[in-house]
Structure 1
Amino acid sequence: MNYPSKLIEDAVNEIAKLPGIGKKSALRLALHLLKSEKTQTHNLSNSLINLVEKTTYCVACHNISDAEICQICGSHRRDSSILAVVQDSKDVLAIENTSQFQGKYHVLGGIISPIQGIGPQDLNIESLLLRIQSNPEIKEIILALSPTMEGDTTAFYIRKKLKDLSVKISTIARGIPIGGDLEYTDEITLGRSILSRVEF
């Protein structure tokens, strides 16, 4: 691709490093920013710099935060007896958008994946154990991890670590999505939904 200037080329190359953005989309975005008011572009760049330099992680749950304790952990309206263990902050956002969960979270920062060289020591599992041991108010742990081989391995490891603690361990339900057809459901999901059936 030919660029009218090295400055445009550099901007396109940086924007194209973002997930889901190709060179054409990056060029369109770069040209849009160039044509926009300078204040808009400066506001965008300042917000990105602040994002990188000022974002911290909650000392309790490891979720993205503006302060030492995130809004969820600091809220007195949340149920402190239930803890949802999730892979990363995107999962917290996804669950929060359902408005169905009023407990608190613990962000692992990934899942066990030997292929990628990620072991239990690379995750926030030890801090989870310390959190449960030091807080008798916690009564239930929900393992809200993706239903993948790595997610199941991580859930199994955590369950093994928690077996001597007096907390209820549950996992999110798996099965046929609402509005889905059995005909188009994969065999593993269909099989699990039958094994995990509930009373009608």
Structure 2
Amino acid sequence: MNFPSKLIENAVNEISRLPGIGKKTALRLALHLLKQKESVTEELTLALNALRKDVNYCQSCHNISDAKICSICASGRRDKSIICVVEDIPDVLAIENTAQYNGLYHVLGGVISPIQGIGPDDLKIESLLHRIMSASESEKVEEVILALPATMEGDTTSFFITRRLKEYGVKVSTIARGIPIGGELEYTDEITLGRSILTRVNYSAD
């Protein structure tokens, strides 16, 4: 790709380093910013700099936070007896958007993957165990929900965590895996379909 300006080329190269953005999309974004008022790019720059310098990670659940403890962990309205374990921060946002869960979270920061060189010690598993062990009587953790990817790595991580939680006497559950609403059986993969049958629930016409 030939560029009329070295400045444009540098901007495109930096923008295209973002996930899911190719050189053509990066060029469109760069040209779009170039057409905007200077204040627009200045505000974007300030926001990105603040993101890098000022953002915190919750000391309890490791979610992104503006303070040492995130708003979810600090809320008096959340059910502190339940912790939902997720792979990363986007999973927290996805579950929160359902408005169906009122417990706490724990962000592992990944899943066990020997191929990528990620082991249990690279994740926030020990932090999870410490949360459960050190919880006060009034905030005792009674259930851990494993909301990890339906992959080999996710299953390996779930198995490892379940084994570690045995000594704490905590109930361990996992999110249901089944056919999505509006989904056709013939287009559903065999593993999902098989798990849906095995984890079937009672049907009532009432």
TM-score in terms of structure 2 length? 0.96
Letter in 1 for 2:14: E
Q: 1:155 maps to which residue?
A: 158
How many residues are treated as equivalent by the alignment? 200
Amino acid at match of 2:111: I
- Aligned AA for 1:117? G
The one-letter amino acid of 2:41's match is T
Query: 1:24 Cα deviation (Å)?
Result: 1.1
1:80 is aligned to 80
Q: What are the ranges of 5 or more consecutive residues in structure 1 without an aligned counterpart? A: none
The residue type equivalent to 1:152 in the other structure is D
SS in 2 for 1:100: coil
Q: Where do 1:137-176 residues align within 5 Å?
A: 137-176=140-179
CA distance in 2: counterparts of 1:138 and 1:36, whole angstroms: 51
- Letter of the 1:15 counterpart: I
User: Structure 1 length as normaliser, TM-score?
Assistant: 0.98
Structure 2 residue aligned with 1:68: 68
What is aligned with 1:8? 8
1:101 partnered with 2:101: yes
One-letter identity of the residue aligned with 2:133: Q
Which residues in structure 2 correspond to 1:34-49 (within 5 Å)? 34-49=34-49
Distance 1:6 1:63 in 2: 39
Shift of 1:55: 1.0
- Which residues of structure 2 form unaligned runs of 5+? none
Instruction: Look up the SS of the partner of 1:106 in the other structure.
Output: strand
Equivalent position to 1:183, from 173, 186, 190: 186
CA distance in 1, matches of 2:141, 2:202: 28
Distance in 2 (alpha carbons) for counterparts of 1:127 and 1:23? 40
SS class of match (1:82): strand
Identity, % of aligned positions: 68
Amino acid aligned to 1:8: I
User: Any runs of at least 4 consecutive aligned residues in structure 1 with deviations exceeding 4 A, and if so which?
Assistant: none
RMSD, aligned CA: 0.7
For the residues of structure 1 that align with 2:118 and 2:21, how far apart are their CA atoms? 27
Partner-residue secondary structure (3-state), 2:168: coil
> Whole-Å Cα distance in 2 between the matches of residues 8 and 92 of structure 1?
36
Letter in 2 for 1:127: S
**Structure 1 residue 183: Cα displacement:** 1.0
Cα distance in 2 for residues equivalent to 1:64 and 1:185:
34
Post-superposition offset of 1:4: 1.2
